[in-house]
Structure 1
Amino acid sequence: MFQLSDKGRRVRQMFDDISGRYDLLNRLLSFGIDRRWRRFAVSQLSIPKNGQVLDIATGTCDVALEVAAQTDASVTIVGEDFTQGMLVRGQAKLNSSPYGQRIALVNAPCEEIPHPDNTFDGITIAFGIRNVVDRQAGLNEMFRVLKPGGRVVILEFSNPRSQLFRKIYYFYFQKILPAIGGFLSKRSAYQYLPDSVMEFPDRETFRAMLASAGFSRLQHVDLTFGIATVYVGDKPRGL
Protein backbone atom coordinates (compact mmCIF):
# COMPACT_ATOMS: atom_id res chain seq x y z
CA MET A 1 0.00 0.00 0.00
CA PHE A 2 1.33 3.45 -0.93
CA GLN A 3 2.45 5.61 1.98
CA LEU A 4 2.28 9.39 1.65
CA SER A 5 5.47 11.28 2.46
CA ASP A 6 5.49 14.03 5.07
CA LYS A 7 5.10 16.56 2.24
CA GLY A 8 2.21 14.59 0.78
CA ARG A 9 0.43 14.56 4.13
CA ARG A 10 0.94 18.31 4.53
CA VAL A 11 -0.46 18.99 1.06
CA ARG A 12 -3.46 16.75 1.74
CA GLN A 13 -4.17 18.54 5.02
CA MET A 14 -3.88 21.92 3.33
CA PHE A 15 -6.49 21.02 0.73
CA ASP A 16 -8.74 19.59 3.41
CA ASP A 17 -8.48 22.92 5.23
CA ILE A 18 -9.46 25.05 2.20
CA SER A 19 -12.03 22.73 0.64
CA GLY A 20 -14.98 24.80 1.84
CA ARG A 21 -13.88 27.92 -0.07
CA TYR A 22 -12.01 26.21 -2.89
CA ASP A 23 -14.52 26.83 -5.70
CA LEU A 24 -15.20 30.43 -4.65
CA LEU A 25 -11.53 31.29 -4.58
CA ASN A 26 -10.83 29.55 -7.90
CA ARG A 27 -13.42 31.72 -9.64
CA LEU A 28 -12.39 34.89 -7.84
CA LEU A 29 -8.63 34.57 -8.18
CA SER A 30 -8.70 33.47 -11.82
CA PHE A 31 -11.46 35.95 -12.78
CA GLY A 32 -13.47 32.93 -13.94
CA ILE A 33 -10.98 32.01 -16.66
CA ASP A 34 -10.36 28.62 -15.06
CA ARG A 35 -13.70 27.40 -16.39
CA ARG A 36 -12.65 28.15 -19.98
CA TRP A 37 -9.32 26.42 -19.44
CA ARG A 38 -11.06 23.28 -18.18
CA ARG A 39 -13.49 23.24 -21.12
CA PHE A 40 -10.60 23.47 -23.56
CA ALA A 41 -8.63 20.73 -21.80
CA VAL A 42 -11.57 18.32 -21.81
CA SER A 43 -12.20 19.06 -25.50
CA GLN A 44 -8.84 17.44 -26.27
CA LEU A 45 -10.21 14.02 -25.29
CA SER A 46 -11.82 11.64 -27.76
CA ILE A 47 -13.92 9.18 -25.79
CA PRO A 48 -15.98 6.46 -27.54
CA LYS A 49 -19.47 5.45 -26.50
CA ASN A 50 -19.41 3.27 -23.37
CA GLY A 51 -15.92 4.55 -22.65
CA GLN A 52 -14.39 5.29 -19.26
CA VAL A 53 -12.53 8.39 -18.12
CA LEU A 54 -10.39 8.85 -15.01
CA ASP A 55 -10.17 12.38 -13.59
CA ILE A 56 -7.23 12.51 -11.17
CA ALA A 57 -7.05 15.17 -8.45
CA THR A 58 -10.73 15.64 -9.16
CA GLY A 59 -11.19 18.00 -6.20
CA THR A 60 -14.74 19.32 -6.26
CA CYS A 61 -15.44 17.56 -9.59
CA ASP A 62 -15.34 20.53 -11.99
CA VAL A 63 -13.43 18.57 -14.63
CA ALA A 64 -15.36 15.34 -14.07
CA LEU A 65 -18.61 17.21 -14.64
CA GLU A 66 -17.17 18.88 -17.75
CA VAL A 67 -16.17 15.47 -19.11
CA ALA A 68 -19.73 14.27 -18.57
CA ALA A 69 -21.11 17.35 -20.32
CA GLN A 70 -18.87 16.84 -23.36
CA THR A 71 -19.23 13.07 -23.81
CA ASP A 72 -21.95 10.61 -24.71
CA ALA A 73 -24.39 9.62 -21.96
CA SER A 74 -22.95 6.07 -22.01
CA VAL A 75 -19.52 7.30 -20.86
CA THR A 76 -18.69 6.80 -17.17
CA ILE A 77 -16.20 8.83 -15.15
CA VAL A 78 -14.15 8.04 -12.06
CA GLY A 79 -13.06 11.04 -10.03
CA GLU A 80 -10.02 10.30 -7.88
CA ASP A 81 -8.50 12.48 -5.16
CA PHE A 82 -6.34 11.85 -2.12
CA THR A 83 -8.12 14.57 -0.09
CA GLN A 84 -11.30 13.46 1.64
CA GLY A 85 -12.55 17.00 2.24
CA MET A 86 -12.49 17.77 -1.48
CA LEU A 87 -14.38 14.60 -2.30
CA VAL A 88 -17.09 15.48 0.23
CA ARG A 89 -17.57 18.83 -1.54
CA GLY A 90 -17.45 17.13 -4.89
CA GLN A 91 -20.10 14.59 -3.96
CA ALA A 92 -22.42 17.41 -2.90
CA LYS A 93 -22.07 18.89 -6.40
CA LEU A 94 -22.68 15.52 -8.01
CA ASN A 95 -25.86 15.04 -5.96
CA SER A 96 -27.33 18.19 -7.50
CA SER A 97 -26.10 17.58 -11.05
CA PRO A 98 -27.91 15.75 -13.87
CA TYR A 99 -24.55 14.09 -14.61
CA GLY A 100 -23.93 12.92 -11.06
CA GLN A 101 -24.94 9.29 -11.57
CA ARG A 102 -22.26 8.88 -14.25
CA ILE A 103 -19.45 9.85 -11.87
CA ALA A 104 -18.01 7.69 -9.07
CA LEU A 105 -15.51 9.06 -6.55
CA VAL A 106 -12.45 7.27 -5.20
CA ASN A 107 -10.08 8.37 -2.42
CA ALA A 108 -6.56 7.52 -3.64
CA PRO A 109 -3.20 9.12 -4.48
CA CYS A 110 -1.97 9.56 -8.03
CA GLU A 111 1.13 7.48 -7.30
CA GLU A 112 -0.99 4.38 -6.64
CA ILE A 113 -4.10 4.37 -8.82
CA PRO A 114 -6.42 1.54 -7.61
CA HIS A 115 -7.45 0.26 -11.04
CA PRO A 116 -6.21 -2.53 -13.34
CA ASP A 117 -3.92 -2.00 -16.32
CA ASN A 118 -5.51 -0.73 -19.55
CA THR A 119 -8.80 0.38 -17.97
CA PHE A 120 -9.49 3.93 -19.17
CA ASP A 121 -10.02 5.51 -22.59
CA GLY A 122 -8.95 8.91 -21.29
CA ILE A 123 -7.32 10.48 -18.25
CA THR A 124 -7.51 14.09 -17.11
CA ILE A 125 -5.80 15.98 -14.30
CA ALA A 126 -6.27 19.73 -13.85
CA PHE A 127 -4.04 21.79 -11.54
CA GLY A 128 -3.09 18.63 -9.69
CA ILE A 129 0.11 17.20 -11.12
CA ARG A 130 2.27 19.84 -9.41
CA ASN A 131 0.89 18.61 -6.05
CA VAL A 132 1.99 15.03 -6.72
CA VAL A 133 5.16 14.51 -4.71
CA ASP A 134 6.57 11.78 -6.98
CA ARG A 135 5.41 13.11 -10.34
CA GLN A 136 7.20 10.52 -12.44
CA ALA A 137 5.55 7.71 -10.46
CA GLY A 138 2.19 9.42 -10.99
CA LEU A 139 2.74 9.70 -14.75
CA ASN A 140 3.84 6.06 -14.88
CA GLU A 141 0.61 5.06 -13.12
CA MET A 142 -1.49 7.07 -15.58
CA PHE A 143 0.22 5.29 -18.46
CA ARG A 144 -0.41 1.90 -16.83
CA VAL A 145 -4.17 2.32 -16.39
CA LEU A 146 -4.73 3.97 -19.78
CA LYS A 147 -5.83 1.74 -22.64
CA PRO A 148 -3.59 1.51 -25.71
CA GLY A 149 -4.75 4.31 -27.99
CA GLY A 150 -6.05 6.28 -25.00
CA ARG A 151 -5.11 9.85 -24.19
CA VAL A 152 -3.97 11.79 -21.15
CA VAL A 153 -4.74 15.51 -20.88
CA ILE A 154 -2.97 17.53 -18.19
CA LEU A 155 -3.87 21.15 -17.38
CA GLU A 156 -1.41 22.98 -15.18
CA PHE A 157 -0.26 26.48 -14.31
CA SER A 158 2.83 27.69 -16.17
CA ASN A 159 5.28 30.56 -16.20
CA PRO A 160 4.47 33.04 -19.00
CA ARG A 161 7.14 33.35 -21.69
CA SER A 162 6.75 37.12 -22.14
CA GLN A 163 9.07 38.93 -19.71
CA LEU A 164 6.68 41.90 -19.36
CA PHE A 165 3.61 39.78 -18.73
CA ARG A 166 5.63 37.50 -16.44
CA LYS A 167 6.46 40.47 -14.19
CA ILE A 168 2.78 41.47 -13.95
CA TYR A 169 1.76 37.86 -13.37
CA TYR A 170 4.37 37.28 -10.68
CA PHE A 171 3.31 40.42 -8.82
CA TYR A 172 -0.32 39.28 -8.79
CA PHE A 173 0.60 35.68 -8.04
CA GLN A 174 3.09 36.37 -5.24
CA LYS A 175 1.59 39.47 -3.60
CA ILE A 176 -2.11 39.94 -4.33
CA LEU A 177 -3.29 36.33 -4.56
CA PRO A 178 -1.97 35.23 -1.13
CA ALA A 179 -3.47 38.34 0.48
CA ILE A 180 -6.94 37.71 -0.98
CA GLY A 181 -6.70 33.98 -0.28
CA GLY A 182 -5.65 34.69 3.30
CA PHE A 183 -8.57 37.05 3.83
CA LEU A 184 -11.15 34.53 2.60
CA SER A 185 -9.48 31.26 3.51
CA LYS A 186 -5.99 30.20 4.61
CA ARG A 187 -3.05 32.37 3.56
CA SER A 188 -0.46 29.59 3.72
CA ALA A 189 -2.39 27.59 1.10
CA TYR A 190 -2.39 30.51 -1.32
CA GLN A 191 1.27 31.16 -0.67
CA TYR A 192 1.89 27.51 -1.49
CA LEU A 193 0.19 27.97 -4.88
CA PRO A 194 2.72 30.41 -6.41
CA ASP A 195 5.60 28.58 -4.74
CA SER A 196 4.50 25.27 -6.28
CA VAL A 197 4.07 26.85 -9.73
CA MET A 198 7.54 28.38 -9.64
CA GLU A 199 8.97 24.99 -8.70
CA PHE A 200 7.14 23.08 -11.43
CA PRO A 201 9.30 21.89 -14.37
CA ASP A 202 9.36 23.95 -17.56
CA ARG A 203 7.35 22.77 -20.55
CA GLU A 204 10.19 20.90 -22.24
CA THR A 205 11.23 19.12 -19.04
CA PHE A 206 7.68 18.06 -18.27
CA ARG A 207 7.18 16.75 -21.80
CA ALA A 208 10.34 14.70 -21.32
CA MET A 209 8.80 13.23 -18.16
CA LEU A 210 5.68 12.27 -20.13
CA ALA A 211 7.87 10.64 -22.77
CA SER A 212 9.78 8.76 -20.06
CA ALA A 213 6.47 7.35 -18.80
CA GLY A 214 5.81 6.01 -22.32
CA PHE A 215 3.46 8.61 -23.80
CA SER A 216 3.83 9.51 -27.47
CA ARG A 217 2.47 12.12 -29.92
CA LEU A 218 3.15 14.71 -27.25
CA GLN A 219 1.95 18.27 -27.67
CA HIS A 220 1.24 21.27 -25.50
CA VAL A 221 -0.85 24.40 -25.86
CA ASP A 222 -0.32 27.57 -23.82
CA LEU A 223 -3.45 29.36 -22.63
CA THR A 224 -3.97 33.03 -21.66
CA PHE A 225 -0.43 34.28 -22.41
CA GLY A 226 1.07 31.13 -20.93
CA ILE A 227 -0.52 31.35 -17.49
CA ALA A 228 -1.68 27.77 -17.98
CA THR A 229 -0.62 24.96 -20.30
CA VAL A 230 -2.46 21.90 -21.58
CA TYR A 231 -0.28 18.84 -22.20
CA VAL A 232 -1.58 15.97 -24.34
CA GLY A 233 -0.08 12.53 -24.78
CA ASP A 234 -1.26 9.20 -26.19
CA LYS A 235 -0.54 5.63 -25.17
CA PRO A 236 0.67 3.83 -28.29
CA ARG A 237 -1.57 1.13 -29.68
CA GLY A 238 -0.38 -2.44 -29.64
CA LEU A 239 1.02 -2.39 -26.10
Structure 2
Amino acid sequence: MFDNIAPKYDLLNHVLSMKIDVMWRNTLVNWLKKDQPKEVLDVATGTGDLAIAVQKGTRSKVVGLDLSQQMLNVGVIKIKKLNLDGEISMQKGDAENLPFSDNRFDAVTVAFGVRNFENLPIGLAELRRVVKEGKSVFILEFSKVEGFLGPFYMFYFKNILPAIGKLISKDNRAYTYLPDSVNAFPYGEKMKAILLETGFKKVEYKKLSFGIATIYKATK
Protein backbone atom coordinates (compact mmCIF):
# COMPACT_ATOMS: atom_id res chain seq x y z
CA MET A 1 0.00 0.00 0.00
CA PHE A 2 2.74 2.48 0.97
CA ASP A 3 4.74 1.62 -2.16
CA ASN A 4 1.66 2.46 -4.24
CA ILE A 5 1.05 5.89 -2.71
CA ALA A 6 4.73 6.91 -2.40
CA PRO A 7 4.76 9.35 -5.39
CA LYS A 8 1.78 11.30 -3.99
CA TYR A 9 2.50 10.81 -0.27
CA ASP A 10 3.99 14.23 0.51
CA LEU A 11 1.32 16.08 -1.46
CA LEU A 12 -1.44 14.15 0.31
CA ASN A 13 0.01 14.80 3.76
CA HIS A 14 0.23 18.54 3.18
CA VAL A 15 -3.19 18.83 1.52
CA LEU A 16 -5.06 16.67 4.04
CA SER A 17 -3.49 18.35 7.07
CA MET A 18 -3.40 21.85 5.55
CA LYS A 19 0.36 21.73 6.27
CA ILE A 20 -0.22 21.43 10.02
CA ASP A 21 1.91 18.25 9.83
CA VAL A 22 4.96 20.50 9.23
CA MET A 23 4.25 22.38 12.47
CA TRP A 24 3.84 19.09 14.37
CA ARG A 25 7.23 17.83 13.19
CA ASN A 26 8.87 21.13 14.10
CA THR A 27 7.38 20.91 17.60
CA LEU A 28 8.92 17.46 18.00
CA VAL A 29 12.30 18.72 16.76
CA ASN A 30 12.24 21.67 19.18
CA TRP A 31 11.63 19.25 22.06
CA LEU A 32 14.37 16.91 20.79
CA LYS A 33 16.89 19.75 20.39
CA LYS A 34 17.15 20.14 24.16
CA ASP A 35 18.81 16.69 24.33
CA GLN A 36 21.55 17.78 21.87
CA PRO A 37 21.74 14.44 19.99
CA LYS A 38 24.69 13.60 17.76
CA GLU A 39 23.15 10.55 16.02
CA VAL A 40 19.40 9.99 15.57
CA LEU A 41 17.44 7.05 14.17
CA ASP A 42 14.17 7.95 12.42
CA VAL A 43 12.01 4.82 12.22
CA ALA A 44 9.18 4.54 9.66
CA THR A 45 10.88 7.49 7.98
CA GLY A 46 8.73 7.25 4.83
CA THR A 47 9.92 9.95 2.42
CA GLY A 48 12.16 11.48 5.07
CA ASP A 49 10.27 14.59 6.17
CA LEU A 50 11.01 14.10 9.86
CA ALA A 51 14.59 12.93 9.20
CA ILE A 52 15.22 16.16 7.27
CA ALA A 53 13.60 18.31 9.97
CA VAL A 54 15.65 16.56 12.68
CA GLN A 55 18.92 17.05 10.80
CA LYS A 56 18.23 20.72 10.08
CA GLY A 57 17.12 21.38 13.65
CA THR A 58 19.84 19.49 15.52
CA ARG A 59 22.73 19.24 13.00
CA SER A 60 22.97 15.56 13.94
CA LYS A 61 23.67 12.56 11.75
CA VAL A 62 20.35 10.85 10.94
CA VAL A 63 19.59 7.31 9.83
CA GLY A 64 16.16 6.91 8.24
CA LEU A 65 14.65 3.42 8.17
CA ASP A 66 11.48 2.20 6.46
CA LEU A 67 9.93 -1.01 5.16
CA SER A 68 8.74 0.58 1.90
CA GLN A 69 11.46 0.85 -0.74
CA GLN A 70 9.38 3.20 -2.91
CA MET A 71 8.95 5.64 -0.01
CA LEU A 72 12.69 5.52 0.63
CA ASN A 73 13.40 6.18 -3.07
CA VAL A 74 11.36 9.39 -2.92
CA GLY A 75 13.17 10.38 0.28
CA VAL A 76 16.63 9.80 -1.22
CA ILE A 77 15.82 12.19 -4.10
CA LYS A 78 14.62 14.87 -1.65
CA ILE A 79 17.72 14.51 0.52
CA LYS A 80 20.07 14.79 -2.48
CA LYS A 81 18.28 17.93 -3.70
CA LEU A 82 18.90 19.48 -0.25
CA ASN A 83 22.57 18.39 -0.32
CA LEU A 84 22.01 16.43 2.88
CA ASP A 85 23.05 13.01 1.59
CA GLY A 86 26.23 13.24 3.68
CA GLU A 87 24.16 13.85 6.82
CA ILE A 88 21.14 11.57 6.31
CA SER A 89 21.34 7.92 5.22
CA MET A 90 18.27 5.93 4.23
CA GLN A 91 17.92 2.16 4.51
CA LYS A 92 15.24 -0.49 4.24
CA GLY A 93 14.43 -2.33 7.44
CA ASP A 94 11.78 -3.61 9.83
CA ALA A 95 10.95 -1.55 12.93
CA GLU A 96 10.24 -4.76 14.84
CA ASN A 97 13.69 -6.17 14.06
CA LEU A 98 16.04 -3.20 13.91
CA PRO A 99 19.46 -3.91 12.34
CA PHE A 100 21.36 -1.90 14.95
CA SER A 101 23.28 -2.67 18.15
CA ASP A 102 21.92 -1.97 21.63
CA ASN A 103 22.32 1.54 23.06
CA ARG A 104 23.56 3.04 19.78
CA PHE A 105 21.52 6.21 19.21
CA ASP A 106 21.24 9.48 21.14
CA ALA A 107 17.55 9.63 20.17
CA VAL A 108 14.98 7.69 18.17
CA THR A 109 12.08 9.40 16.41
CA VAL A 110 8.92 8.02 14.79
CA ALA A 111 6.24 10.11 13.07
CA PHE A 112 2.93 8.38 12.29
CA GLY A 113 4.62 4.98 12.24
CA VAL A 114 4.01 3.12 15.49
CA ARG A 115 0.32 2.89 14.59
CA ASN A 116 1.37 0.59 11.75
CA PHE A 117 3.51 -1.78 13.82
CA GLU A 118 2.20 -5.32 13.46
CA ASN A 119 3.13 -6.01 17.09
CA LEU A 120 3.20 -2.78 19.14
CA PRO A 121 5.02 -4.14 22.26
CA ILE A 122 7.78 -5.71 20.14
CA GLY A 123 8.20 -2.53 18.06
CA LEU A 124 8.37 -0.28 21.13
CA ALA A 125 10.83 -2.64 22.81
CA GLU A 126 13.07 -2.40 19.73
CA LEU A 127 12.98 1.41 19.84
CA ARG A 128 13.98 1.26 23.49
CA ARG A 129 16.75 -1.27 22.82
CA VAL A 130 18.65 0.87 20.31
CA VAL A 131 18.49 4.19 22.20
CA LYS A 132 21.17 4.96 24.77
CA GLU A 133 20.54 4.72 28.51
CA GLY A 134 19.10 8.00 29.77
CA LYS A 135 18.15 9.10 26.24
CA SER A 136 14.69 9.27 24.70
CA VAL A 137 12.35 7.99 22.02
CA PHE A 138 10.09 10.67 20.50
CA ILE A 139 6.83 9.44 18.97
CA LEU A 140 4.46 11.67 16.97
CA GLU A 141 1.17 9.92 16.40
CA PHE A 142 -2.48 10.65 15.70
CA SER A 143 -4.81 10.70 18.68
CA LYS A 144 -8.44 11.75 19.06
CA VAL A 145 -10.04 15.17 19.32
CA GLU A 146 -12.13 15.41 22.46
CA GLY A 147 -14.87 17.86 23.41
CA PHE A 148 -17.26 19.71 21.13
CA LEU A 149 -14.88 19.63 18.14
CA GLY A 150 -14.70 15.83 18.23
CA PRO A 151 -17.78 15.04 16.08
CA PHE A 152 -16.79 17.60 13.40
CA TYR A 153 -13.27 16.24 13.17
CA MET A 154 -14.46 12.63 13.00
CA PHE A 155 -16.84 13.53 10.16
CA TYR A 156 -13.90 15.01 8.20
CA PHE A 157 -11.66 12.09 9.13
CA LYS A 158 -14.14 9.37 8.12
CA ASN A 159 -15.80 10.96 5.09
CA ILE A 160 -13.93 13.85 3.49
CA LEU A 161 -10.32 12.75 4.09
CA PRO A 162 -10.68 9.26 2.50
CA ALA A 163 -12.43 10.75 -0.54
CA ILE A 164 -9.61 13.26 -1.17
CA GLY A 165 -7.00 10.60 -0.47
CA LYS A 166 -8.55 8.20 -2.97
CA LEU A 167 -8.87 10.92 -5.62
CA ILE A 168 -5.22 11.98 -5.44
CA SER A 169 -3.49 8.66 -4.66
CA LYS A 170 -5.72 6.39 -6.82
CA ASP A 171 -5.45 3.83 -4.00
CA ASN A 172 -8.74 2.76 -2.42
CA ARG A 173 -7.16 1.37 0.76
CA ALA A 174 -4.73 4.03 1.91
CA TYR A 175 -7.02 6.67 3.35
CA THR A 176 -9.93 4.48 4.40
CA TYR A 177 -7.36 2.51 6.40
CA LEU A 178 -6.16 5.68 8.18
CA PRO A 179 -9.28 6.50 10.28
CA ASP A 180 -9.74 2.84 11.18
CA SER A 181 -6.16 2.52 12.40
CA VAL A 182 -6.37 5.76 14.41
CA ASN A 183 -9.62 4.69 16.08
CA ALA A 184 -8.06 1.39 17.12
CA PHE A 185 -4.82 2.91 18.45
CA PRO A 186 -4.24 3.81 22.14
CA TYR A 187 -3.46 7.43 22.96
CA GLY A 188 -2.82 9.74 25.91
CA GLU A 189 -2.66 7.95 29.25
CA LYS A 190 -3.18 4.53 27.64
CA MET A 191 -0.17 5.02 25.37
CA LYS A 192 1.85 6.34 28.32
CA ALA A 193 1.00 3.19 30.31
CA ILE A 194 2.09 0.95 27.40
CA LEU A 195 5.42 2.79 27.11
CA LEU A 196 6.04 2.44 30.84
CA GLU A 197 5.21 -1.27 30.63
CA THR A 198 7.78 -1.54 27.83
CA GLY A 199 10.44 -0.48 30.34
CA PHE A 200 10.84 3.25 29.81
CA LYS A 201 11.57 5.05 33.08
CA LYS A 202 9.72 8.27 32.30
CA VAL A 203 7.03 9.20 29.77
CA GLU A 204 5.77 12.71 28.99
CA TYR A 205 3.38 13.79 26.26
CA LYS A 206 2.06 16.92 24.56
CA LYS A 207 -1.27 17.19 22.76
CA LEU A 208 -1.21 19.10 19.47
CA SER A 209 -4.00 20.92 17.62
CA PHE A 210 -6.82 20.09 20.08
CA GLY A 211 -5.63 16.49 20.32
CA ILE A 212 -5.48 15.59 16.61
CA ALA A 213 -1.93 14.42 17.27
CA THR A 214 0.25 13.79 20.31
CA ILE A 215 4.02 13.71 20.87
CA TYR A 216 5.30 11.21 23.44
CA LYS A 217 8.80 11.45 24.94
CA ALA A 218 9.78 8.13 26.48
CA THR A 219 13.11 8.11 28.34
CA LYS A 220 15.12 4.89 28.80
What TM-score do you get using the length of structure 1 for normalisation?
0.89
1:61 to 28, 32, 48: 48
The equivalent residue for 1:173 is: 157
> In the comparison of the two structures, how many residue pairs are matched?
218
The equivalent residue for 2:84 is: 99
1:183 to 156, 167, 178: 167
Structure 1: runs of 5 or more not aligned: 1-13
Which aligned runs of 4 or more in structure 1 are off by greater than 4 angstroms?
Answer: none
1:129 to 97, 108, 114: 114
Q: Determine whether 1:198 maps to 2:183.
A: yes
User: 2: distance between equivalents of 1:58 and 1:227?
Assistant: 20
Q: Determine whether 1:158 maps to 2:143.
A: yes
Q: Determine whether 1:108 maps to 2:93.
A: yes
SS of equivalent to 2:98: coil
Q: Determine whether 1:40 maps to 2:24.
A: no
Q: Determine whether 1:220 maps to 2:220.
A: no
Return the letter of the residue paired with 1:32. K
Return the letter of the residue paired with 2:27. F
The equivalent residue for 1:77 is: 62
SS of equivalent to 2:86: helix
User: 1: distance between equivalents of 2:62 and 2:42?
Assistant: 7
Return the letter of the residue paired with 2:15. L
Q: CA deviation at 1:47?
A: 4.3
Check the 8 A contact 1:54/1:123 in 2, yes or no.
yes
Structure 2: runs of 5 or more not aligned: none
What TM-score do you get using the length of structure 2 for normalisation?
0.96
Check the 8 A contact 2:196/2:202 in 1, yes or no.
no
Q: Determine whether 1:117 maps to 2:107.
A: no
SS of equivalent to 1:232: strand
The equivalent residue for 1:11 is: none
Check the 8 A contact 1:41/1:230 in 2, yes or no.
yes
Q: Determine whether 1:231 maps to 2:216.
A: yes
User: 1: distance between equivalents of 2:102 and 2:75?
Assistant: 26
User: 2: distance between equivalents of 1:145 and 1:17?
Assistant: 30
Q: CA deviation at 1:126?
A: 0.3
RMSD: 1.1
Q: CA deviation at 1:130?
A: 0.2
Q: Determine whether 1:16 maps to 2:3.
A: yes
User: 2: distance between equivalents of 1:95 and 1:203?
Assistant: 37
The equivalent residue for 2:128 is: 143
The equivalent residue for 1:28 is: 15
Check the 8 A contact 1:121/1:151 in 2, yes or no.
yes
SS of equivalent to 1:101: coil
Q: CA deviation at 1:109?
A: 1.1
